[in-house]
Structure 1
Amino acid sequence: MLLKTIIFSVLFIIIVVLWKKRWLLYHSWKIPGSFAVPLMGSAFLLSATKDNFFDLIYRNLDSWKPVTKFWVGSQLYIVTTRPTDVEKILTNCLTKSPFYDNLGGVIKDSLLTLKVSIWKKHRKMINPSFKSTILNSFHDVFVKYSREMVKFLYDAEGNEQSDLVSVIWEKTLDSAIATLTNVKPDAIKERRRAITAATKIEEIFIQRFHNFWLLIDFIWKLSKLHEEYKAACQIGHAIAENIITEEHKSSESLKFSGDIIRSEHFLPHLLKLNQTKQITRKEILEEMSLMLIASSETTALTVNIVLTILGIYPDIQEKVFEELVSVLPTIEKDPTLEDISRLDYLKRVVKETMRLVPIIPFILRYTDEDIKCGSYVFPAGSNFFVPIIVLHRDSDVWPEPEKFDPDRFLYDKITKREHCSYIPFSFGSRNCIGLRYAMMSVKVMLATILRSFKVQTVGLKSWKDIQWEYLIMLKPKNIRLLFEKRAF
């Protein structure tokens, strides 16, 4: 009798769930996609490790075009590679996928993951910290830490660099602290620990993603990984808290000395809003943690990959150098804002690198209303998996998509492409707030390094020889670089 009751109860629950999802199921049946099994869905297809997940996704590019679906448990994910669909989704569906809820911890209440109503409030508050006049004031800071990067390379000349990302990341983290706050980076003693903690958070998050049973919350909380994740998040928060404490000290010191307090910059601006209770201290802590990671790690990865690409293609590197010499004829002259704006070919090289290798290769969104795209209805309750990497290598948009060609970004060619055929910083109102910050930082560091050094890539004949692991961001595994001092 007990067994019958259990079976009946389970069947009843299944029927109720299916009935509630009837509209979702009805439209999902009309969308082609991966084989799914009860409860698990298509999750077994995602069981690849972080080392080969990117390869698994890339192998499925053609089968994903133009629209497909897969299930992770009871969650429907729709994949579309049509730029018009992507534009509609990213414009109208501002809610992030529940997938991001698994991040928890260090950036749970930040711009990355917030519910739309709170995100709009935070974005409106943070936007003034990224207006042009403030961004332009960051230029000298970017130059300073780029110079420090060059000094490191001078000292290491002739030595093969197999982990340059870590070195660049230290400089970009210092740069982030110096631009987003009034704090001197040297006042924060555990900056390297912050980088280690951020990497650990990413590794465990992706490990959880690839072991679908860990997505079940009570199993996750019983796991050893959960404890490690919490510990890494606590380190991240402690360092952000330290920066906030130092910000208060710095502001008081600047008041006493009569020096300028940069009250409009990111952290002091938010602390001022905290005084009028427009944002809580906890929310500031989360936003500060996100901004430090996002502004420093993405820049470090992008610089490293551009240098690698230029080492593989020396003819393109020479064109970059010729442009640099024409704009900056002497090595002693630091690049000004005007100089950086004139480096058009370097800008095209950076953009083409981000086309082939977008640091954030996927975007996930959620819709609570039906979205009609072409002949399909994407039903309310769906998640959208927007594969930036696929859009950027679509042969229907990009002739010879695997060829590295900076001239794809000449103005007359850009204007002929649809908006969402190229979205390294996402698209729409919920795009990356640090787009211009990132481009300025990357261009200043590359210009400073490439004026001083010729870079060679060891053991790689093509960008396709680079091996990748996916840790929220794409990270190279087998890059080795040599730097040779330029003669002036």
Structure 2
Amino acid sequence: MWPVLAIVALGLGIWLRWIHKNRRMLNMAKQLPGPPALPIIGNAFLFMVEPLEFVRVIKDLMTKYGGVFRAWLGPDLNIIVSNPDDVKILLTSNKTTVKGPQYKYMAHFLGGGILTGSGTPWRKHRKIAAPNYGKRAIKSYVNIFNSEVDLLIKKFMETPKGQQIDINKYIVQTTTYTVCQTLIGLSREEMLELPHLQTIIDETPELYDLIFDRMRKWYLQLNPVFWLTKLYKQHKKFMKIIREFSMTIVKHRMEKLNSIDEKKKQLLNAGEDSINSTQFSVIDRFILSQELDPTELLNETFTIFTTSQEALAKISSLTLLMMAFHPKCQEKLHAEIVSVIGNKDRPVTYEDIKQMPYLDMVFKEVIRLFPIAGMMQRTITEDIAISTCTIPAGASLLVPTYHLHRSPKYWPNPDVFDPERFSPENTKTRNPYCYVPFSLGSMDCLGRHYAEKLVKTIVIRIMQNFKLSTLNKYEDLRVIIVISTTIMDGFQAIVTPR
């Protein structure tokens, strides 16, 4: 009995000490609307639901409490903000340049780098990687984009005619192979010999499920509890696979760099572009910079890989799926493609893409409805005033991107797919900050232009060669947020050769 009482007393003492230490934040939080919270665990039970229900829970809270409200995840105060002007202030402020506490569960696999990190190391790593996401580098990737899509077209040609398939299973292979040869810098032969490549492609959704489970289930955030679950076995398996995969990539690039002229390396580190520095991959730049320790190098290698290949496959698949659901949009987009490229299939150039405004509208509407980052979380490092209140230091900002993009306050018929929302005329009449698919400010998405060009290349080439249809209904799509926004039942479509 005495040991139990001692544990209870210790827990109570820790809780009371936490209350005293955070009394200012607690008092400021009381000024905000939000659901009633339980001691210690806060509103954690609200979010311990399946992914499909999770989307509804956030929507209901926004409907009930408005554009700014609070929710407690254990001891973490989250301020959920969906007022566009407040979103602009918060995402562009230097008081919100630290990722939120829930990112630590991603950092277990990716480290504190480009995706999950903050502060000086994050800024340095991002600056090192940036040239490979610029216009000049993307132009140099065009041949690889097209050659990999050639193989995708061939795979689609081999599928049974009239049969519905999950197109994402094919497209994710294309985006994976493209990323490996462009951003990672491997030859196709080296890429195909990577250990665990296909396992990572196939099981990345399970990795995201694991991470999301820890984010939304408070008891899994207690390490002693987590260590007793089967999820911990999965965790260790993924850690081992990721390490071996990343070590092999780094080894390949180090061997390649040893064969490059020393003068070119020096010029690259000095920032000289005269040597056509696009021949260096992101991983090469990390190695040559000597800014990363061995663990950081492995973590950033996997981050560059997984944040590109899986996300780009989803966007590409969703764009084609929307065309299957909306034949009139498909006809209009196909007509635009033919007007620029002609009826004969040929490689897509950077300049071709710039001449397709309707494709751009389609792309924007897809990532409005299905933003890759369904939610964004930042830590508030100093008090910051917004339209209705002051958010206290120590709280977490949460921007519900998916729900903001589907808010009826800013989007008529928000769940309808309508590319015309992004016509110049319609764009002018809308608050620009109700649309933040790539975030804002210094922490915006580094790979947005790379993503746009690769996705559009895939869409153009597939639509040159195939007509898309589906046996399903758009209204029946079950959209979920599991780190990223995705479709619960897969990306089912029929690809019919034109």
TM-score > 0.5, shorter chain as reference: yes
Q: 1:151-162 alignment to 2 at 5 Å? A: 151-162=154-165
Equivalent residue in structure 2 for 1:327, among 340, 346, 361: 340
Q: 2:131, 2:58 → 1: CA distance? A: 38
- Structure 2 counterpart SS, 1:483: strand
- Preserved CA contact (<8 Å) 2:113 2:121: no
Q: 2:369, 2:277 → 1: CA distance? A: 41
* Cα deviation code 1:148-203 (max 9, x no counterpart): 11111111151534432122111101000111133113323342122134233212
Q: 1:157, 1:128 → 2: CA distance? A: 42
Q: 1:328-477 alignment to 2 at 5 Å? A: 328-460=341-473, 462=474, 464-477=475-488
Matched, 1:248 2:257: no
Call closer, same or farther: CA 1:10–1:61 in 2, change over 3 Å: closer
1:199 counterpart residue number: 205
Tell me by how many angstroms 1:443 deviates. Answer: 0.3
Counterpart of 1:150 in structure 2: which amino acid?
I
2:66 counterpart residue number: 65
Q: 1:258-273 alignment to 2 at 5 Å? A: 262-273=278-289
Q: 1:111-126 alignment to 2 at 5 Å? A: 111-126=114-129
- Structure 2 counterpart SS, 1:394: coil
2:111 counterpart residue number: 108
Q: 1:245, 1:293 → 2: CA distance? A: 18
Moved more, 69-78 or 402-411: 402-411
* Cα deviation code 1:234-286 (max 9, x no counterpart): 2122112211212234445677xx99985443111212112xxx222321211
- Preserved CA contact (<8 Å) 2:52 2:479: yes
1:25 counterpart residue number: 26
Tell me by how many angstroms 1:221 deviates. Answer: 2.8
2:17 counterpart residue number: 16
Q: 2:381, 2:107 → 1: CA distance? A: 22
* Cα deviation code 1:380-408 (max 9, x no counterpart): 11111100112212222222322322122
Call closer, same or farther: CA 1:157–1:322 in 2, change over 3 Å: farther
Moved more, 14-23 or 29-38: 14-23
- Preserved CA contact (<8 Å) 2:184 2:305: no
- Preserved CA contact (<8 Å) 1:183 1:250: no
- Structure 1 counterpart SS, 2:182: helix
Tell me by how many angstroms 1:60 deviates. Answer: 4.1
- Preserved CA contact (<8 Å) 1:157 1:482: no
Call closer, same or farther: CA 1:246–1:260 in 2, change over 3 Å: farther
Tell me by how many angstroms 1:55 deviates. Answer: 3.6
* Cα deviation code 1:101-144 (max 9, x no counterpart): 12243202221121322212222222222222112111121111
Q: 1:26-175 alignment to 2 at 5 Å? A: 26-92=27-93, 93-175=96-178
Q: 2:379, 2:231 → 1: CA distance? A: 27
Tell me by how many angstroms 1:442 deviates. Answer: 0.4
1:239 counterpart residue number: 245
Q: 1:260, 1:418 → 2: CA distance? A: 41
Q: 1:301, 1:372 → 2: CA distance? A: 36
Moved more, 407-416 or 117-126: 407-416
Counterpart of 2:111 in structure 1: which amino acid?
K
Call closer, same or farther: CA 1:289–1:106 in 2, change over 3 Å: same
Counterpart of 1:313 in structure 2: which amino acid?
H
Q: 1:162, 1:219 → 2: CA distance? A: 40
- Structure 1 counterpart SS, 2:51: coil
- Preserved CA contact (<8 Å) 1:197 1:236: no
Counterpart of 2:284 in structure 1: which amino acid?
P
- Structure 2 counterpart SS, 1:349: helix
Q: 1:111, 1:247 → 2: CA distance? A: 20
Call closer, same or farther: CA 1:353–1:7 in 2, change over 3 Å: closer
Q: 2:10, 2:243 → 1: CA distance? A: 44
Call closer, same or farther: CA 1:102–1:331 in 2, change over 3 Å: same
Matched, 1:222 2:228: yes
Tell me by how many angstroms 1:296 deviates. Answer: 0.8
- Structure 2 counterpart SS, 1:222: coil
Tell me by how many angstroms 1:66 deviates. Answer: 1.2
> Structure 1 regions of 5+ residues with no counterpart?
none
- Structure 2 counterpart SS, 1:368: coil
Tell me by how many angstroms 1:421 deviates. Answer: 1.0
- Structure 2 counterpart SS, 1:52: helix
Q: 1:155, 1:74 → 2: CA distance? A: 54
- Preserved CA contact (<8 Å) 2:185 2:280: no
- Structure 1 counterpart SS, 2:416: coil
1:208 counterpart residue number: 214
Call closer, same or farther: CA 1:260–1:245 in 2, change over 3 Å: farther
Counterpart of 1:87 in structure 2: which amino acid?
K
Q: 2:61, 2:189 → 1: CA distance? A: 46
* Cα deviation code 1:420-446 (max 9, x no counterpart): 211111111101100000000100000
Tell me by how many angstroms 1:15 deviates. Answer: 2.7
1:485 counterpart residue number: 497
Tell me by how many angstroms 1:8 deviates. Answer: 5.8
For this pair of structures, how many residues does the alignment match?
480
- Preserved CA contact (<8 Å) 2:371 2:401: yes
- Preserved CA contact (<8 Å) 1:106 1:234: no
Q: 1:171-182 alignment to 2 at 5 Å? A: 171-182=174-185
Counterpart of 2:226 in structure 1: which amino acid?
W
Call closer, same or farther: CA 1:448–1:98 in 2, change over 3 Å: same
Counterpart of 1:131 in structure 2: which amino acid?
G
- Preserved CA contact (<8 Å) 1:357 1:389: yes
- Structure 1 counterpart SS, 2:205: helix
Call closer, same or farther: CA 1:456–1:279 in 2, change over 3 Å: same
Moved more, 307-316 or 200-209: 200-209
- Structure 1 counterpart SS, 2:208: helix
- Structure 2 counterpart SS, 1:68: strand
Call closer, same or farther: CA 1:298–1:64 in 2, change over 3 Å: farther
- Preserved CA contact (<8 Å) 1:299 1:442: yes
